[in-house]
Amino acid sequence: MDSIIEVNGLTKTFGKNKALDQINLKIQHKEMTALLGPSGSGKSTLLRHLSGLVFSDKTQDGKIQVLGKTVQSQGRASGQVRNCRAQAGYIFQQFNLVNRLSVMTNVLIGALNYTPFWRTITGNFTKQQKAEAMAALERVGMQDFAHQRVSTLSGGQQQRVAIARALMQKARIIFADEPIASLDPESSRIVMELLSDINQREGIPVIVTLHQVDHALKYCQHVVALRDGKIFYQGESAAIDKLALAELYGSKSEMNLEVGVEEQPISLGRAPLSLIS
């Protein structure tokens, strides 16, 4: 099987700041992967490179492939980059929906990639597309809100609509950048469970950046941890230990390593952690 993600020699410099430093990464499973690391470690920058939204430094060996297609190489977009963007669904912290439009129209926007141009400018979606959009809304439990304006929804509901839009897009992979950062705990749980369920049932790989280590360990079978723009850990979530996490976030002193599971939240830098056994 082709790798889901293959990154070679990825370096990204902003001015004098090396945000990513010679990243080599291979993900060959379809299970959920959490991108972890302290603030500024390069998580979002890596995700944007995978999405083909940002291009790396022009290094000789720099290359990124997603689902077997080259997104970019040597800091330049590949001929397949549009195709790569079309196959990826994006979930952002700020939902990225069009507030003044209805929930249904926002989901239908997911179909734009494979809809003839004349239909997109007239907003003339087919009956079948509308049925698919409603099915996507049902999948995320938002069918009753189909004709409501997005601006009237809560943050958690908006994020579920954004997930429905990715399904409508027929995304073959989902990149989620801090999807629960602005949500309350209950909405966060619903969104993470939904992403996990879609990953397991539809078999769509999900790569998600998170600050909440407890959510990462609970919902994601795999972790890629970054520190100072370098890979610090890659492996199964179950295998990562508390000491490694403390080292990752550089805040051992803030962490009571003897603390029992779940009863007491442990702070890891910005990341609240109630460790799961």
Residues that bind ligand ATP (CB under 6 A): 14, 17, 19, 37, 39-45
* Cβ atoms < 10 Å from Cβ of 99: 12
Q: Which helix (H) or strand (E) holds 222?
A: strand 222-227
Q: Give min distance, CB of 190 to ligand ATP, in A.
A: 22
Give the whole-angstrom CA distance, residue 20 versus residue 10.
7
Would you state the structure tokens that stand for residue 223, as one six-digit string? 């972790």
Q: Give min distance, CB of 50 to ligand ATP, in A.
A: 12
Q: Rounded to 5 degrees, what angle do the CA atoms 266, 268, 270 make?
A: 115
Beta bridge partners of 230: 227
* Cβ atoms < 10 Å from Cβ of 130: 15
Q: Give min distance, CB of 277 to ligand ATP, in A.
A: 26
Q: Give min distance, CB of 19 to ligand ATP, in A.
A: 3
Give the whole-angstrom CA distance, residue 183 versus residue 19.
27
